[in-house]
Amino acid sequence: MCGIVGLFLKNPALQPELGLLTAQMLRVMTERGPDSAGFAVYGGARHGQTKITVRGLVPSDMAAFEKGLLACAGTGVTFLSRDDHTVITVPTEHEKTVRQFIAAFGHGVSFVASGDSIELYKGVGLPEDVATRFNLAGMSGTHAIGHTRMATESAVTTAGAHPFSTGPDQCLVHNGSLSNHNTLRRQLVREGLTFETENDSEVAAGYLSWRLSRGERLDEALTASLADLDGFYTFVVGTRDGFAVLRDPVACKPAVMAETDDYVAFASEYRAFAQLPGIGNATVFEPEPQRVYHWEHA
């Protein structure tokens, strides 16, 4: 069991409430996944700037970290810390050197995600506590994806919490379990990918990133995954401009969607929608198995 939520706003007037609405949905999914939680929030893209989320930066290391960053990216760097996560905004041309600096920094600091608009936070504990630590309710943006985890395939750690990000502005959350993830991980490692955990869902994220890096569209990559991923899954995949949903052919793992003129919402169970505005008049449906559903901002 795990819980998944997603919210894609069509009406820009709702953007200031994205975090609040996502936090409410995430809290309702606690019973499906009480051991850890995480969420990706998309928004605030600025031309020429890249956001990098890192975690594990403690105040005593901050000065050394800042000094090193300034040395490799100059003065155009900004920081925003939320609990043990920090979002660094750097000029895009310096992203590669900054990533190398983060990888080499040590002191328990690890890279989480990067892209034009993605910020990604995750941690161990009850979903409500995780959301509160990062002040999810105060965040705004265009779309968000969240996950509440009940671990089955690997340990309860921050790294093992969802979402997993394995490519620029990409993230994936998963309810289910994959049975061929070790084989697939070895194949992807040979293709040059690296993995942070033993988690099956990270392999699914890596698989999609690998396909996207070869120029495939998201719907093509997801369709290909039906043949290559063996197991149970409902996936929600976030990209810079939207999100996509896919269920395996057996479709044991639940999924329900709600659409109004203002938003498209996804959840493992309907009750996560109960507090969304205008839900009484939403079109509520279950995504069909083996069919890729995809929403994007124009």
C-beta neighbour count of 250 within 10 angstroms: 12
Pick 196 or 269: Cβ nearer another protein? 269
Dihedral sign for Cα atoms in the order 5, 9, 13, 19 = positive
Pick 156 or 250: Cβ nearer another protein? 250
Q: According to the binding rule CB under 8 A, does residue 134 interact with another protein?
A: no
Region near another protein per CB under 8 A, out of 88-96, 120-128, 236-244, 269-277: 269-277
Name the minimum Å distance from CB 101 to another protein: 47
Q: According to the binding rule CB under 8 A, does residue 80 interact with another protein?
A: no
Rounded Cα distance, 242 and 294, in Å: 7
- Residue 151's φ and ψ, nearest 5 degrees, are -65, 140
Q: Site mask, another protein, residues 215-254, x = CB under 8 A?
A: -----------------------------------xxx-x
Pick 125 or 254: Cβ nearer another protein? 254
Name the minimum Å distance from CB 176 to another protein: 14
Rounded Cα distance, 180 and 231, in Å: 7
Pick 48 or 280: Cβ nearer another protein? 280
Reported as type and span, the H/E element at residue 209 is helix 200-213
Q: b vs e for 45-63, b when ≥16 Cβ sit within 10 Å of the residue's Cβ? A: beeebbbbbbbbbeeeeee
Helix (H, G, I), strand (E, B) or coil at 110: strand
- Residue 172's φ and ψ, nearest 5 degrees, are -140, 140
Q: According to the binding rule CB under 8 A, does residue 289 interact with another protein?
A: yes
- Which residues are designated catalytic? 2
In terms of Cα–Cα distance, which of 103, 80, 77 is closest to 91?
77
Q: According to the binding rule CB under 8 A, does residue 168 interact with another protein?
A: no
Q: Which of 179, 284, 291, 297 binds another protein (CB under 8 A)?
A: 284
Asked if 83 contacts 123 with a C-beta cutoff of 8 angstroms, the reply is yes
Q: Site mask, another protein, residues 249-268, x = CB under 8 A?
A: -xxx-x-x------------
Rounded Cα distance, 75 and 69, in Å: 9
Number of residues that bind another protein (CB under 8 A): 16
Pick 126 or 251: Cβ nearer another protein? 251
Q: According to the binding rule CB under 8 A, does residue 270 interact with another protein?
A: yes
Helix (H, G, I), strand (E, B) or coil at 297: coil
Residues that bind another protein (CB under 8 A): 250-252, 254, 256, 269-274, 284-286, 288-289
